[in-house]
Structure 1
Amino acid sequence: MTVRAVTVTGEPVLHRRAEEVLEFNDELRQLVNDMFDTMDAAHGVGLAAPQVGVGLRLFTYDSPHEDEAPSRGVVINPVLTLSKISGADPDVDDESEGCLSVPGLSYPLKRAGWAHVKGFDADGNPLEFEATDWFARVIQHEFDHLDGKLYVDRLNEKWAKRARKQVRAEGWGIPSLTWLPGVDPDPFGH
């Protein structure tokens, strides 16, 4: 088991578009295995490669759902098609998200209720599935990481202001900050 350090907001790899995966090899499969180990140790439902300091377009997920896709998997070089986002303000109880790269905080965010996902598995085999409800939220959250966005970058102004204030209060927003799941205190209290 290899757990990698999780980067915290302010680390440059989190704030730029990740590169396409070009080679499906043992090194990539080891990265995927390490990401599963890290996600599990952090009690996460998803983890994108930039969150472990690797600027490649892939993410892992572990999110039980009713859709036909596996509840646990990896998507490499994903392409998403989303339904329209409906409703005005996000519901604090039902639409709040957290992020391992903004550890311990959560804020409400509107997301599309459906996503069509295309990409590849760790061996380079094509995959395609649909995600709805919470699973769609997880997929969108991880996909955003691949485009250099954190969920706090998408908050409405009311919540964005609170998030910016809390990030400053935590001393984040600068390079080289990480935490190690399974070793450092769990910021989400699992």
Structure 2
Amino acid sequence: MILPVYVYGHPVLRKESEEIDEDYEGLEKLIDDMWQTMYHTDGIGLAAPQIGKNIRLMVIDATPMAEEFPELENFKKVLINPIITEFGDDSCNESEGCLSLPGIREEVKRPKKITIEYENENFELVEEVLEGFAARVVQHEYDHVEGKLFVDHISSLKKRLIKGKLNAISKGKVDVSYRIKTA
């Protein structure tokens, strides 16, 4: 089922998410619904807070960007209870957008390399070192389970410049091809 995407201004996006275990009711269906919602919205990642669930769960399929970023070849994952255990020293700026902030794109500085631990959909523990755009995509979705948005990483001047757009999004005054949920 395609779910509505919660947008800027909704309090669920600002809460730190809770860990879950294999007994979480309806998890398999929830993951399937998240995939459907992400593909319907043309996203490459979706975190549970974006569909109103404050749990540490995210789905990512960044393979459509593999031509431009080879590290994204077959980069399709379910990440449960993710924890970034290490951030690399080198950073870079790249433009980011978000389904919860439709119509806004900004340059965001993030580490080029991370180490992350998570459980896959079978609750097997995985530890990975990710680099390049793969690290960026995971950090972006990880922010959601931490109660953060990519606009938290931009300067106060840039935030002031997009304040009108942010206010419009929080009131649902945005033209998107998917259902949204405001506060």
TM-score range, shorter chain: 0.7 to 0.9
Q: Deviations over 1:44-97 (max 9, x none)?
A: 11100000001100111011354499511110000112112536xx4xxxx110
Distance 1:134 1:8 in 2: 24
Corresponding pairs, count: 174
Deviations 1:91-132 (A, max 9, x none): xxxx11000000121111101101112110112111222221
SS of 2:105 mapped into structure 1: strand
> Given that residues 24 and 123 in structure 1 are in contact (C-alpha distance below 8 angstroms), is that contact kept between their aligned partners in structure 2?
no
Aligned to 1:84: 89
- 1:27-38 to 2 correspondences below 5 Å: 27-38=26-37
Matched residue of 1:47: which SS? strand
Any stretches of 5+ residues in structure 1 without a counterpart? 186-190
Moved more, 112-121 or 24-33: 24-33
Q: Structure 1 residues 182 and 160 mapped into 2: Cα distance closer, same or farther (>3 Å)? A: closer
TM-score by length of 1: 0.81
With over 3 angstroms needed to count, the CA separation of the structure-2 counterparts of 1:26 and 1:123, relative to structure 1, is: farther
- Is residue 69–residue 129 contact of structure 1 (8 Å, CA) maintained in 2? no
Aligned Cα root-mean-square deviation (Å) = 2.6
> Secondary structure in 2 aligned to 1:142?
helix
Q: Distance in 2 between matches of 1:45 and 1:67?
A: 14
Tell me the residue number matched to 2:129: 130
CA contact (8 A) 2:8 2:100 kept: yes
Equivalent AA in structure 2 for residue 53 of structure 1: G
Partner of 1:160: 159
Please say if 1:75 is aligned against 2:64: no
**2:74 and 2:23 mapped to 1: Cα distance?**
21
Question: 1:149 offset after TM fit, Å?
Answer: 0.3
For residue 86 of structure 1, what is the amino acid of its counterpart?
A: S
- Aligned residue for 1:30, secondary structure, equals helix
